[in-house]
Amino acid sequence: MAAATSRFHRLRVAAVDRLTDDSVALTFAVPPELRAEYRYAPGQHLAIRRFADGGAEIRRTYSVCSPAVGEDGPTEVRVGVRLVEGGEFSTYAHKEIAAGDELEVMTPAGRFTLEPRPGHFAAIVGGSGITPVLSIVATLLAREPEARFCLIRSDRSAASTMFLEEVADLKDRYPQRFQLVTALSREEQQAGLPSGRLDEERLTGLLPALLPVEQIDGWFLCGPLGLVQGAERALRGLGVRRARIHEEIFHVDSGTAPATSTAPALAHSTVTAQLDGRSGSWPVQDGESLLETVLRNRPDAPYACKGGVCGTCRAFLVTGEVRMDRNYALEPEETEAGYVLACQSHPATEQVELDFDR
- 3-state class of 255 per DSSP? coil
Quote the least distance from Cβ 301 to ligand FES, whole Å. Answer: 10
Nearer to ligand FES, 152 or 315 (CB): 315
Nearer to ligand FES, 67 or 307 (CB): 307
CA 103, 73, 127 angle in degrees (round to 5)?
60
Nearer to ligand FES, 234 or 275 (CB): 275
Nearer to ligand FES, 20 or 61 (CB): 61
Nearest Cα neighbor of 27 from 59, 68, 64 is 64
Quote the least distance from Cβ 315 to ligand FES, whole Å. Answer: 10
- 3-state class of 215 per DSSP? helix
Quote the least distance from Cβ 112 to ligand FES, whole Å. Answer: 13
Packing angle between helix 225-237 and helix 200-210, nearest 10 degrees? 50
Q: CB within 8 A of 282, min separation 6: which ones?
A: 270, 271, 273, 293, 294, 296, 297
Measured on CA atoms in the order 155, 330, 242, 216, is the torsion positive or negative?
Answer: positive
Quote the least distance from Cβ 328 to ligand FES, whole Å. Answer: 8
Distances, alpha carbon 18 to alpha carbons 21, 26, 48, 69, 333, in Å: 7, 9, 19, 24, 38
The type of residue at 99 is: A
Chain contacts with ligand FES (rule: CB under 6 A)? 303-313, 329, 341, 343
Nearer to ligand FES, 162 or 343 (CB): 343
Quote the least distance from Cβ 47 to ligand FES, whole Å. Answer: 9
Give rounded-to-5 percent helix, strand, coil for the chain.
25, 35, 40
Nearer to ligand FES, 313 or 322 (CB): 313
Nearest Cα neighbor of 77 from 48, 40, 104 is 40
**Whole-angstrom Cα distance, residue 117 to residue 109?**
21
Quote the least distance from Cβ 45 to ligand FES, whole Å. Answer: 10
Nearer to ligand FES, 203 or 310 (CB): 310
Quote the least distance from Cβ 266 to ligand FES, whole Å. Answer: 21
